[in-house]
A and B are shown apart, each in its own frame.
Chain A
Amino acid sequence: MTEWWTYRLSSFLMFSPRTYWRLVESYNRDIWPAPVVAAGAGLVLLWLTAVPRPGGGRIVAAILAVAWLWVGWAFHWQRYATINWAAGYFAVAFWLQAALLVIAGVFRSSDPERVPRARVRNVGLTLAVCGLLLYPLAGLPAGRPWAQAEVFGVMPEPTAMVTLGLLLATGQSHTRWLSIVPVLSLAVGMATLWLISS
């Protein structure tokens, strides 16, 4: 891209807010009751993280991997790609994250004795709770209906938030590597949401 410095963030927004939120609503409707199941799986994740038990880390990693696989396929690949050509690349990144979670979390589970500092653990759990319980409510004050709620395991941003929170809270030994895709996803997602709400 030439003269890249002349492009604003808004130059890359290629759909209207109305189109985006209608797509989210249609997606939630198509996969119903999957958003409820995903939210339930998120609660299980929180419980397994808040009350550690042998093998719990593997279950957490496995559920997160399924969530990233699903969001990559059902949202990015199948739906978002119809209005954003970059979504195909996002899908690949989400599948890569799922693979990393499987490798690092399931086959090479973290040391059960490894416990993060209390402050880090609390920050992680708070972030996960925000992604799981508060993020889906974020659209209501803006007048968006429940049908457009963004739920963990269904939409990218809450999935990334919960993942980052659980990585911090569990003290996963590969947290740094496993955080790259969620952080990037969150940055792109938040930038998009900021553009379509401004």
Chain B
Amino acid sequence: MKRRTLLLRSLPALGAAAALAQNNAAARPLTKPIPSSNEQIPLVGLGSWITFNVGNDRPARDQCAEVMRNFFAAGGRLIDSSPMYGSSQGVIGEGLQKLGAQRQVFSADKVWTSSRGAQQIEASRQLWRVAGFDLLQVHNLLAWQEQLPLLQEMKAAGRLRYVGITTSEGRRHRDMEQIMRGHRLDFVQLTYNLLDREAEQRLLPLAQERGIAVIANRPFREGALLRELQRRPLPAWAAEIGCASWAQIALKFIVSHPALTCAIPATSNAAHVRENMAAASGPMPDEAFRRRMAADVEKF
């Protein structure tokens, strides 16, 4: 399939800003709208699980700030973290302050433990060194009956812009579906990648139907998927969708799903963040191409 054909087929899902970005793909990533507000979000964000949990290690913290600098330079905005991620929140906050990027970032964090949710959110905000969060999510649906009303209250009071829930590794999809049907949500976050595609059956169509943005976590299965794929040469079709690496193939597969808003690969390597951000530009696979990608990878 020709690159131009692919591009034209994928354009309707990418929005007007995405079309403009084609002219300057290297500098600006493609975006998709958050359905509840139409605010545009770059297709690739930045996760922080493990990679940003470096404690008080000064060189490692500086390296994380360098990753963030490259992320923002490539047009990235959404960074995701959680109070469960050890020192990650503080590392992000330090990086944001160092880079003066508190207004540029789309801050996505989580509320985790079941008690004192408001206090935990305030502690997280101080670690992030931001005025307030853009998005707060109920981490792994823990105590969602208590936490979701808290987040909705914060949003109603103007102290939070978006509310979401998360799960990972395919857990509690039935519960997530019920919450998506019964509550007003701006975002859901779930595991979706070349091999973990259970969400395609019910959750992704439901998100489209209900106008909920979707963040895909574990795009590389914490690196295991890439380590497996990188043993093999890039398939010939990689060039057709402008991919120069398996990481870009994996990311383009995810963000080209019509229901997906953003993927959040985590890395502590500045070169990798540039490579990841490059996946948010150029031609995107259409549905037939995506099926071919998944089938080829499954054969491995």
Residues of chain A touching chain B, judged by Cβ–Cβ distance below 8 Å, are 2-3, 6, 11, 13-16, 19, 22-23, 26, 79, 82-85
Contacts and interface: CB of A to CB of B under 8 A. Distances in A.
Contact of B86 (A2, A3, A22, A83): A83
A83 B54 contact: yes
A14 B53 contact: yes
Contacts of A14: 49-50, 53, 84-86
B268 A16 contact: yes
Contacts of A19: 53-55, 57, 60
A16 B51 contact: yes
Interface band, chain B: 10 to 19
Contact of B50 (A6, A16, A22, A79): A16
Given A3-B172, A15-B86, A16-B268, A82 B60 contact: no
A82 B61 CA distance: 13
Interface in B104-139: none
Contacts of B141: 2
6 residue pairs, one from A and one from B, having the closest CB atoms: A82-B55, A83-B55, A83-B86, A15-B53, A3-B171, A19-B54
9 contacts: A2-B141, A2-B172, A14-B84, A16-B50, A16-B53, A22-B57, A22-B60, A83-B54, A83-B87
A82 B169 contact: no
A85 B268 contact: no
Interface in B172-203: 172
Interface of B: 49-51, 53-57, 60, 84-87, 141, 169-172, 268
Contacts of B49: 14
Chain A CB count within 10 A is highest, among B49, B87, B172, for B87
Contact of A84 (B51, B57, B86, B172): B86
Given A11-B169, A83-B86, A26 B57 contact: yes
A82 B55 CA distance: 5
A15 B49 CA distance: 8
A23 to B, nearest CB: 6
Nearest to B54: A19
B86 A6 contact: no
A22 B54 CA distance: 9
B169 A6 contact: yes
A47 to B, nearest CB: 37
B172 A23 contact: no
B55 to A, nearest CB: 4
Nearest to B51: A16
A172 B131 CA distance: 58
Given A2-B171, A15-B54, A16-B50, 17 more contacts: A2-B172, A3-B171, A6-B170, A14-B50, A15-B86, A16-B53, A16-B268, A19-B55, A82-B55, A82-B86, A82-B87, A83-B54, A83-B55, A83-B86, A83-B87, A85-B84, A85-B86
